[in-house]
């Protein structure tokens, strides 16, 4: 089988849409439901015939590549539930409930590390949730010590060790402690600074909490700070969100993630607490998105793609410029492709040519580990077509374009024949000005960048068999 894809050649990233390029009618027409492509194939393709043995075999195969490792740890606990949340979480105020979970995490680490050459450097570490800062300082230290004992953590300057923080659950002492543990990147959940919106989503968070933490993080020398915002929440308007953006720009984070709220109350119980009548209309959401792109671009941010923005000197922007940007379950990443080992309830691993997912049920996760086996509940081993299409979709999502001739050379295929049905499918998007085609080279236009998920969907072999209702709207 041909070797996996190498990084794309350096290229020039198209500019974000300007006021003159904005075509609201076109956006509305293409605003369908579709995957976010943090993986291809997506999690809907995972099946239960895939077992823990399949994962351990993949871990052993992956040692031959000597790729660096990426570790994701899911901490599912939250003190309070935010009504918009679609994450896997457990509401509790008792930090002692985390103790048995940390013990299970350690068992999982031991079982996985048996099959991994731990001389491979851990270039990336990400704690997500839930709320990782739910853990006490001592519990955080314990978890880091266990990770280091099982896999060997790095203190290399180019490591990417990130943690998601709820500013309501952290203070300056938390940040100092996280720095001492080796974290060098922070992601702070903000969502919106408007008090009415905050009350409606059960997340009252005065600006001063975020500002104080950011000031301390800058003083301590954290390499990069990300703020998470969400548009489409109850009571948001173009004007109110512009005021939030004005304040956020004053705070000057290195990165911003501005997510589209997907209201799916039948799937996510907390969202049933949100009154649908309070949500902004589709037109208002588009207006908010337009204002967001204009304000952040005018403030000097680069629109990386989809919902990500970064300063020109941030590692994400630099990686996109030189063609080495990657995409994984945590979004965009500036590091070269790593084998990702997911730890904890609901975590997903991407190792060699497989995806493996843990159960979303804490009880099932605990039971598996108590029986001395990895908690893998489903997954997928990719065939050659999956690998080729993953290469194409990942590069398209990261580079906002794709050279199919280069893909053909990498994989030893006739790209013109292989992707002929896809190119035919994209003809309408080309005529509508979403992409420019030059032979087998495709480049998203300014408007096409906003609809990059739609362009990627044309390469998805699984999508015709899947229900669109399982995915969120593109915009």
pLDDT band of residue 15 (cuts 50, 70, 90) is low
d(C-alpha 439, C-alpha 445), whole Å: 16
Q: Does 34 fall in a domain?
A: no
Q: Does 64 fall in a domain?
A: yes
Identify the pLDDT of residue 10: 43
Span 178-194, mean pLDDT? Answer: 97
Residue 328 has pLDDT above 90, yes or no: no
Residue 16 has pLDDT above 70, yes or no: no
The percentage of the chain sitting over the pLDDT mark of 90, rounded to a whole number, equals: 84
How would you classify the pairing of strands 185-191 and 224-231? parallel
Nearest 10 degrees: Cα torsion 455, 284, 164, 103:
-80
Same domain, 326 and 436: no
Q: Helix (H, G, I), strand (E, B), or coil: what is residue 47?
A: strand
Same domain, 412 and 311: no
Q: Does 244 fall in a domain?
A: yes
Q: Does 30 fall in a domain?
A: no
Provide the domain count of the chain: 2
Same domain, 48 and 195: yes
Q: Is 121 left (phi over 0), alpha (psi -120 to 50) or beta?
A: beta
d(C-alpha 448, C-alpha 305), whole Å: 10
- Determine how many CB atoms are found less than 10 A away from the CB of residue 431: 9
Tell me, rounded to whole angstroms, the distance of Cα 66 from its chain centroid. 24
Distances, alpha carbon 2 to alpha carbons 234, 306, 383, in Å: 49, 30, 12
Q: Does 432 fall in a domain?
A: yes
Identify the pLDDT of residue 2: 42
Give me the domain span that covers residue 91: 43-343
Residue 4 has pLDDT above 70, yes or no: no
Identify the pLDDT of residue 413: 98
Same domain, 312 and 429: no
Same domain, 55 and 196: yes
Span 441-468, mean pLDDT? Answer: 93
Q: Does 124 fall in a domain?
A: yes
The percentage of the chain sitting over the pLDDT mark of 70, rounded to a whole number, equals: 95
Identify the pLDDT of residue 472: 82
Q: What are phi and psi of 7, to 5 degrees?
A: -65, 150
Q: Determine contact, residues 169/131, Cβ cutoff 8 Å.
A: yes
Span 181-194, mean pLDDT? Answer: 96
Same domain, 168 and 253: yes
- Residue in this structure with the two tokens 């790593």, named with its chain if needed: 338
**Global model pTM greater than 0.85:** yes
Q: What is the CATH number of the domain that holds 445?
A: 1.10.10.920
- Residue in this structure with the two tokens 């992707």, named with its chain if needed: 419
Residue 434 has pLDDT above 70, yes or no: yes
Same domain, 387 and 325: no
pLDDT band of residue 89 (cuts 50, 70, 90) is confident
Same domain, 255 and 389: no
Same domain, 331 and 390: no
Same domain, 131 and 210: yes
pLDDT band of residue 3 (cuts 50, 70, 90) is very low
Q: What is the CATH number of the domain that holds 96?
A: 3.80.30.20
Q: Helix (H, G, I), strand (E, B), or coil: what is residue 232?
A: coil
Q: Determine contact, residues 453/474, Cβ cutoff 8 Å.
A: yes
Tell me, rounded to whole angstroms, the distance of Cα 415 from its chain centroid. 29
d(C-alpha 160, C-alpha 184), whole Å: 7
Q: Does 176 fall in a domain?
A: yes
Q: Helix (H, G, I), strand (E, B), or coil: what is residue 216?
A: helix
Q: Helix (H, G, I), strand (E, B), or coil: what is residue 191?
A: strand
Span 299-304, mean pLDDT? Answer: 96
Span 386-395, mean pLDDT? Answer: 97
Q: Helix (H, G, I), strand (E, B), or coil: what is residue 231?
A: strand
Tell me which of 343, 360, 375 is where a domain ends. Answer: 343
Same domain, 92 and 232: yes
Tell me which of 293, 318, 343 is where a domain ends. Answer: 343
Q: Determine contact, residues 252/271, Cβ cutoff 8 Å.
A: no
Distances, alpha carbon 189 to alpha carbons 127, 317, 420, 425, 431, in Å: 14, 21, 43, 38, 39
Same domain, 138 and 272: yes
Question: Which of the residue ranges 92-96, 270-274, 316-320 would you say has the lowest mean pLDDT?
Answer: 92-96
Identify the pLDDT of residue 88: 79
Cis peptide before 213 (omega within 30 of 0): no
Catalogue the long-range contacts made by 108-114 (C-beta closer than 8 Å, 24 or more residues apart): 108/343, 108/344, 108/369, 108/374, 108/375, 109/146, 109/147, 109/150, 109/151, 109/343, 110/150, 111/369, 111/372, 111/373, 111/374, 112/56, 112/59, 112/150, 112/341, 112/343, 112/374, 113/150, 113/151, 114/56
Q: Helix (H, G, I), strand (E, B), or coil: what is residue 340?
A: strand
Q: Does 351 fall in a domain?
A: no
Residue among 52, 61, 50, 71 at smallest CA distance from 116: 61
Question: Which of the residue ranges 12-26, 263-277, 366-380, 428-442 would you say has the lowest mean pLDDT?
Answer: 12-26
């Amino acid at each position: 089988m041909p070797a996996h894809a190498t990084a794309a050649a350096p290229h020039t990233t198209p500019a974000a849409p300007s006021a003159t390029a904005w075509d609201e009618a076109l956006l509305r027409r293409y605003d369908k439901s579709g995957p976010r492509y943090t993986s291809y194939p997506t999690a809907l393709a995972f099946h239960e015939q895939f077992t823990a043995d399949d994962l351990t075999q993949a871990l052993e195969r992956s040692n031959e590549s000597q790729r660096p490792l990426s570790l994701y740890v899911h901490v599912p606990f939250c003190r309070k539930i935010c009504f918009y949340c679609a994450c896997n979480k457990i509401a509790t105020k008792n930090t002692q409930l985390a103790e048995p979970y940390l013990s299970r995490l350690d068992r999982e680490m031991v079982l996985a590390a048996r099959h991994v050459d731990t001389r491979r450097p851990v270039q990336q570490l990400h704690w997500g949730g839930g709320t990782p800062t739910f853990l006490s300082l001592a519990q955080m230290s314990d978890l880091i010590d266990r990770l280091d004992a099982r896999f060997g953590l790095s203190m290399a300057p180019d490591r990417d060790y990130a943690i998601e923080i709820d500013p309501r659950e952290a203070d300056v002492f938390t940040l100092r402690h996280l720095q001492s543990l080796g974290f060098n990147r922070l992601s702070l959940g903000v969502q919106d600074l408007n008090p009415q919106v905050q009350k409606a989503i059960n997340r009252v968070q005065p600006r001063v909490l975020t500002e104080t933490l950011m000031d301390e993080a800058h003083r301590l020398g954290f390499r990069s700070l990300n703020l998470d915002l969400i548009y489409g929440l109850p009571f948001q308007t173009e004007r109110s969100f512009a005021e939030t953006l004005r304040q956020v720009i004053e705070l000057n984070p290195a990165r911003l993630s501005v997510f589209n709220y997907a209201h799916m109350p039948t799937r996510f119980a907390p969202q049933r607490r949100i009154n649908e009548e309070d949500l902004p209309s589709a037109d208002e959401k588009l207006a908010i998105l337009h204002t967001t792109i204009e304000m952040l671009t005018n403030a000097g941010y680069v629109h990386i793609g989809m919902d990500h923005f970064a300063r020109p000197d941030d590692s994400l922007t630099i990686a996109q410029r030189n063609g080495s940007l990657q995409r994984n379950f945590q979004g965009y990443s500036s590091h070269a492709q790593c084998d990702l080992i997911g730890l904890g309830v609901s975590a997903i691993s991407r190792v060699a040519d497989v995806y493996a997912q843990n159960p979303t049920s804490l009880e099932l996760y605990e039971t598996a580990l108590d029986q001395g086996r990895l908690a893998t509940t489903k997954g997928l081993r990719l065939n050659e077509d999956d690998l080729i299409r993953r290469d194409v979709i990942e590069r398209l999502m990261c580079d906002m374009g794709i050279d199919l001739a280069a893909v053909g050379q990498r994989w030893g295929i006739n790209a013109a024949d292989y992707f002929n049905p896809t190119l035919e499918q994209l003809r309408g998007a080309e005529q509508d000005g979403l992409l420019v085609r030059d032979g087998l080279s495709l480049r998203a236009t300014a408007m096409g960048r906003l609809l990059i998920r739609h362009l990627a969907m044309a390469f998805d072999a699984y999508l015709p068999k899947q229900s669109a209702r399982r995915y969120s709207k593109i915009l």
